[in-house]
Structure 1
């Protein structure tokens, strides 16, 4: 690949990263709307879109899906060890860690 093509790829990647960042913000706004109206479909749609956008953003910045999964599992363990309230009250962190380890 010659120099101009590398420059085009870099510019394209920067543009995609910026687009993904706005997509994440848009889905957060949609999630708030879904929560406000208690619309289950809207909530699931925005949460799933958020997850997809985050995974693709991770890939665009040079992380593998596996690296992101491992970092999430490590973050869950870290929060559990620190006595996070969601773990103490509901066991959510353990449940998510167990789910992710079974995939």
Structure 2
């Protein structure tokens, strides 16, 4: 690959990174609007798009999908061990852990 090709690849990488960052912000905004208006379709679409953008961003910065999932599992365990209000009040983290482990 010559220098011009490397420059093009680098520029494409930067453009994708910027697009992913802006996509995350846009979807957070959509999520907040969906929550404000009680719009389940917008909430679900924004959450799914956020997850997608996060997975792709992880890959773009060199984090394999399985490593991201392992980090999520570790974070759940950390919160369960040290206590977290969402777990104490609703049991959400235990339910999420069960869901992930069943997959």
TM-score by length of 1: 0.95
Structure 1, unaligned stretches of length 5 or more?
A: none
**Which fold has the larger relative contact order, with Cα–Cα distance below 8 Å and residues 6 or more apart in sequence?**
1
Q: Distance in 2 between matches of 1:40 and 1:97?
A: 24
Partner residue of 1:92?
Answer: 92
CA shift for structure 1 position 6? 2.0
Q: Does 1:36 align with 2:36?
A: yes
RMSD: 0.9
Correspondence list, 1:65-80, <5 A: 65-80=65-80
- Report 1:1-103 matches (<5 A): 1-103=1-103
Q: CA deviation at 1:93?
A: 0.8
